[in-house]
Chain A
Amino acid sequence: MLGLRDNKRRKAICLVSVLIFLLVSVFMGNSALAAAAGKTYEQYVASIPDGCEPVPRDCFEKAVAGKTFAMYDWAAWWPEELYTDFEKEFGIKIVRDNYPNLDEALAKFRLNPKTPYDFWLTNPKSVWYMKNWNILEQLNHDWIPNVNRYMAKDVQNASWDPGYKYTVLTSLGYDAYVLNTKFIDRNDPRIPSWKFIFHGWDVYKDKLIMRNEMNRVIGNTLKYLGYSLNSTDPKELEEAEKVLIDLKPHIMAFNSWPKRAIMAGEVWAVQGVVHDYLSLGKLAGPTNPFLPSYPPNGCLISPMLAVIPTGGNNPAACYLFLNYLYRPHNFATLINGIAYGHGHTGITDLTDEEVTKWMTPPEEGYREKCEVLLPPAFTGEGEKLRAKIWEKLKK
């Protein structure tokens, strides 16, 4: 009898202590670590680096009063210093959530328009939907002086948001393809054209992975054929379908981020955003074996746009963050970290040579040949036709 009670007591104590430990750690873990004293507005203005301007006083005070800043972006992509330095400088705690891909993030907003994020990093397609649902905050340009100053003029009037009323461009990705030159001869005459992907399976031996997004794959196929990415012409789409169906037996898988696969040598050619593979290549050995391609026909461009959903609780903090991000020093940190293209006019001296080489297309005016995904492709007839093709591909 005594033994039983002893055991029970021991068990109970164990259980209770474990539970207490768990709860304590959770709450300790969640409590703010940005205990750095926030600055006053005067201190902030005084400590601004050269070439940058501060946000107006009301923006600053609102942001600091809000105490937290809810961000929704990719996990483990932007350099961590950007977030920690922001927290340190302003004393605002950043709460970051990540999405596995932008479609799922959009689904959350679709089902719950009041999703309370202050900052969302997204693409033009989502912006178009959010505008339709009226849940995007219109930007107050007075609150982002650095952006006004440094964002390139052609970006300010880009096709996805003329006059940058809702979005601030953070990076631009070229969605073409990357080859592992350890296995593939970089002097194949078809490189860097799209022809290599769509007909070069004898060289890459069916070890090709394409992105798992129907608009991108079909769009790039249209680019290969010389048509517009956003075409809704049934004849052109039929051609694209034929090309893709012919290619299907040589495609290993549809996977949007096959980093592990290409590092392990499982695949030799990856259709995707070329910029992701610079840092990867650095890990792969003494010389970077990856080769980005910029097909002469052009490819899909995917801009990463920062937007402010109306459900957020502290939009002022987002303005503060964007202004902080567009300081040349910080923006250079970003671009050097992710090696993407951009529209910032003030960091040409601050970007790494290697990064510049990787992220810049070989010819002038290449960007004009590339296209962004626009509504005709993902709505109405265009969407229906593409969905049919995609279903046939996945049969």
Chain B
Amino acid sequence: MKILNARAINTVLMIAGYLFIWGPIVVLGIFSFNSNAYGVKWESLTVKWYVDFFHSPAIITAVLRSLFIASVTTVCATVIGTLAGYGLYKYKFSGRRALRMSVLLPITVPYVIMAGALLVYFTRIVHIPLGYPAIIIAHISFSAPLAVFVTLGRMQRINWSLEEASVDLGADTLTTWRKITIPLLLPAIFASAVLIFPWSFNDFTVTYFVAGVGTTTLPLYLYSMLEYSLKPVLINVISLIFIIVPIICILLVYLVRGKRKHTA
């Protein structure tokens, strides 16, 4: 009986949590079909905002740019971060603790100042062209730590005897990595990517300062038109699209993976 009660309470709390997280988004999505461009009074059903959205090249270009930057960042940061997490866990070297601490550094410094400093740094000290190179480099600096942490966490729960066995059996480093290590780390890699991609996609402050000409990303555009534009309902449209698309992608991934049982 006690167990059942605890489970019931837990379930209620869980549902409440999901409602909290999803409530505003669902409301936003519903109102993206509202013909009233402002406010919360429902007028009538329409899809004209979606038509508008696909007809505004500025928004679509901004979205594509954000996707591009986020993709490159995710790939690079995941690779760098996973490697580093692996090394931090496995190898004992002087400065290990220092490295672990300093990986936290990008997250602790306030974004605004970091962004300004990066701008000064990129233009006067290191001469990296503003725009895509600068944005991507900055994003990687901020998101690699995430991958490091996720990987570190995962490393502790892996049965490393598999790797040792592979080495004992004579496989070289590359093969061991390809066949054993990477598959073992796959959940961590996946989790890192899932965390890093939205971070990079949504970033505003840093991107704003180190952007070049013609590199307005979606958050930049949104912030610029949010309260100022005559059609804030386009925001509803964007939010719905960005909820539906990832869900579809994930469902696709599930399909592609087939009925293979998921071992966490």
Contacts and interface: CB of A to CB of B under 8 A. Distances in A.
Given A260-B38, A265-B39, A117 B228 contact: no
Interface of B is mostly: helix
Interface in A283-318: 283
Contacts of B224: 74-76, 98-100
Contact of A283 (B37, B67, B258): B37
Contact of A70 (B214, B220, B225, B257): B214
A50 to B, nearest CB: 33
A255 B68 CA distance: 32
Given A108-B209, A264-B38, A283-B37, A258 B227 contact: yes
Interface string A244-274: 0000000000011111100111000000000
Interface in A65-104: 70, 74-77, 95-100, 104
A74 to B, nearest CB: 7
Contacts of B257: 7, 11
**Range for the number of chain B residues in contact with chain A:** 35 or more
A191 B219 CA distance: 39
A29 B61 contact: yes
Contacts of A14: 252-253, 256
A259 B68 contact: no
Most chain B CB inside 10 Å of its own CB: which residue of A7, A112, A255: A112
B184 to A, nearest CB: 15
A74 B253 CA distance: 40
B68 A26 contact: yes
Interface string B207-230: 011011111100011011101111
Interface in A1-29: 3, 7, 10-11, 14, 19, 22-23, 25-26, 29
A114 interface: yes
A255 B227 CA distance: 9
Nearest to A279: B230
B232 A260 contact: yes
A263 B38 contact: yes
Interface string B42-68: 000000000000000110110011011
Contacts of A100: 208, 220, 223-224
Nearest to B258: A7
Contact of B61 (A22, A30, A260): A30
A111 B228 contact: no
B116 A111 contact: yes
B238 interface: no
Contacts of B221: 75, 98
B256 A76 contact: no
Given A76-B228, A283-B37, A11 B256 contact: yes
A116 interface: yes
B120 interface: yes
Contacts of A75: 58, 221, 224-225, 228-229
A74 B208 contact: no
B123 A97 contact: no
Contacts of B213: 70, 95, 97, 116-117
Most chain B CB inside 10 Å of its own CB: which residue of A22, A76, A77, A114: A76
A113 B223 CA distance: 24
A259 B120 CA distance: 35
A29 B60 contact: yes
Nearest to B204: A100
B119 interface: yes
A23 B71 CA distance: 10
Given A95-B213, A95-B214, A74 B256 contact: no
A29 B216 contact: no
A291 B95 CA distance: 67
A107 interface: yes
B259 to A, nearest CB: 10
* Top 6 closest pairs, chain A to chain B, by CB: A264-B39, A263-B38, A75-B224, A257-B227, A98-B224, A95-B214
Interface of B: 37-40, 57-58, 60-61, 64-65, 67-68, 71, 116, 119-120, 123, 130, 208-209, 211-216, 220-221, 223-225, 227-230, 232, 252-253, 256-258, 260
Interface of A: 3, 7, 10-11, 14, 19, 22-23, 25-26, 29-30, 70, 74-77, 95-100, 104, 107-108, 111-112, 114, 116-117, 255-260, 263-265, 279-280, 283
Given A96-B58, A283-B38, 12 more contacts: A22-B64, A22-B68, A23-B68, A26-B67, A29-B61, A75-B224, A96-B216, A108-B119, A111-B209, A257-B228, A260-B39, A264-B38
15 contacts: A7-B258, A11-B256, A14-B252, A29-B64, A30-B214, A70-B214, A96-B216, A100-B220, A107-B116, A111-B209, A112-B123, A257-B228, A259-B229, A280-B230, A283-B230
